[in-house]
Each structure stands twice: as C-alpha cells, then as structure tokens.
Amino acid sequence: MFAVETSAGDPLADMLLAFAEEVENELGDSVDITVQTGGAIGDEEAVLQGLRAGAIDVAAVSGSVANLDPTFTIMDMPFLFTDRETVAEFLDGPYGDELSESLVETIGARVLGFGENGFRQITNSKRPIVTSSDLTGLKIRVPGNPARVALFEALGAAPTQIDIGEAYLALDQGVLDGQENPLKVIDAFSFYEKQPYLSLTSHIYSPVYLAMNEDTWQGLSPEVQQGLEKAAAAAAATSRAAGAEADEELLSKFEAAGVQVNEADVNQLSEAVSGVRDEIAAGIPGDFADRVIAEYRQ
C-alpha cells in the first residue's frame, strides 16, 4: 500500500501519485499498487506509524519524520538553505544518504527519493511580517514539531499546533492569526482566502520524503528494487520542478486575489533565531549537524 495524509494538489500527494505512475511505467503488472490519499489512513503521524509497522509499504511524508528520527531535524534548522540548487546538492549527495541510513536504523524505513514541499512562507490576517517584532503575539499554526514550535517562540509568536486539515476553519474563525507553509500548500488548502498578508521569509526548506518500509524493500528482487529507485528519482525530479515552476505563478494568483505580498528582513529574522539553530544542532546525534553547519552556514 502507498499512503499519504494529503490529497492531490498538495506536494506530498502529488509526489506519491507521480511515483505510483512511474512504478507502473517501470515495472508494469509485476507490482500491485494501492494508493490511499486524503487522510484515509489518518494524519502524517498515523501514516508514519503504519510505515514503521509494515502496514504501509511506501509513504510520502514531511516534517513529522523528525519526531521519530532526530537527525531529520536538520531540515528544521531555520535559514540553513537559501536556494534550491544548494538543497539539491545536500539531499542528493552523501548527506542525503546519511539521512536515509538513519531512518532505516530508527524506524525501519528508507528514503527512496527527496521531493519538494518547498520554502516555507508566513501568512496572517493582521499585518505584513518584516522583522521578528511583527510576529509578536500572533497565533501561528505550526505542525506537531518541537523545532518549529521553538522557532516561532523565538520570533515572539504564539505557535499553535493544529492538524493541517483543520487549519482553514481555525483561520476563518480567528482561532489562528496565521500559518506557515510552502506556497503550493497555501494554495492547496486555500489558506490565502483567509489571509490578506503573505510575507516571504523562506525560513525553512521542507522536502517530501518518499519512504519505503525496509522489510518490504529487502523482500524485493534486485530488478524490482532498481525499478523502484528509477521511479523514485523520476518522481523526485517531477516534484522539484513543479515546486519551482509554481512559486511565481502562485504569487501572481495570490496578489490577484487581494493578498498583499512583501519581502521580509531575512537577515534580522535569521539573527533572532540563532539560538534555535544551536538547540537543534545539540539534539542531533553524532557530528552530523556540525558537519552540515560547517559546510552550509558560511
């Protein structure tokens, strides 16, 4: 079974669906595929538990992975990456291999491919966000991720953990002032309809992790494994290209809908959360974080 929390149009679901299509192209009828989207299995935590238990063979997941494997909190380190080319170099090289190996050890699943959820931006109903002072007291929806909570606390906001499927109603009713997500997610969940301000902070780059249960993987023939790796590489390329192409189009769409878009003072925001980077690094096993910071936080 292939599973994802979200529905078509969201980057996670789109990558899983692209992978399923590529698997059919590569392997034909030799692999029987059932795809569950739209929360049929539950939220992302439930999907990950199913993947860990072997009830799910392949899943497309994102930030919640870090709750099970602290090495993945490296991707929650704010302002670590500033462009897609650098992210691709990081994920497609030895560091990406280390992340996959770590996931095998912690939950018994391997990363077949890294797609794109995207650079995360902030929307809200109160005011443009330029510096951290503009976030003071704002109730910002964050995923169930301690590192993300720490980030927005450091920025002076009031981070609130609400399932993404419930966030639109919470924004509509004023339970939340804002949220942070990649532009494609903001579009997929129509958050822009309730948020007149979009601030381009790019505070975190969130990948999509296409992960496979390790026992399932080890039970496959080398030929099928090779076919799955090719399918995952193709799906990852499709996911990343779609994210890059969508950003400019979505900014125009949001502005046409009446959303005010502004550039944030990224340098000030980055300085304000330097302590969060230190906390995240301290919680990552071994010297992984030190090596990444030395290479990418120059």
- Helix spans in 257-287 (H): 266-272, 274-282
pLDDT tens readout for residues 161-174: 998 999 999 999 99
How many angstroms separate the CA atoms of 13 and 4, rounded?
6
Check residue 298 and give its pLDDT. Answer: 59
pLDDT tens readout for residues 211-267: 999 999 999 999 999 999 999 999 999 999 999 899 989 999 999 999 999 999 999
How many angstroms separate the CA atoms of 91 and 214, rounded?
20
* 197-200/260-263 β-pairing: parallel
> All domains of the chain, ordered by start, with CATH?
2-296 (3.40.190.170)
Token reading at 50:
């199913």
How many angstroms separate the CA atoms of 88 and 91, rounded?
5
* pTM score: 0.91
Q: What residues have CB less than 8 Å from 134, skipping those under 6 apart?
A: 127, 128, 199
* CB-count exposure of residue 82 (10 Å: 0-12, 13-18, 19+): middle
Q: Per-10-residue mean pLDDT for the chain, 298 residues long?
A: 93 96 93 91 94 98 94 97 96 98 98 97 99 99 91 98 94 98 95 98 98 98 97 97 92 98 98 96 97 89
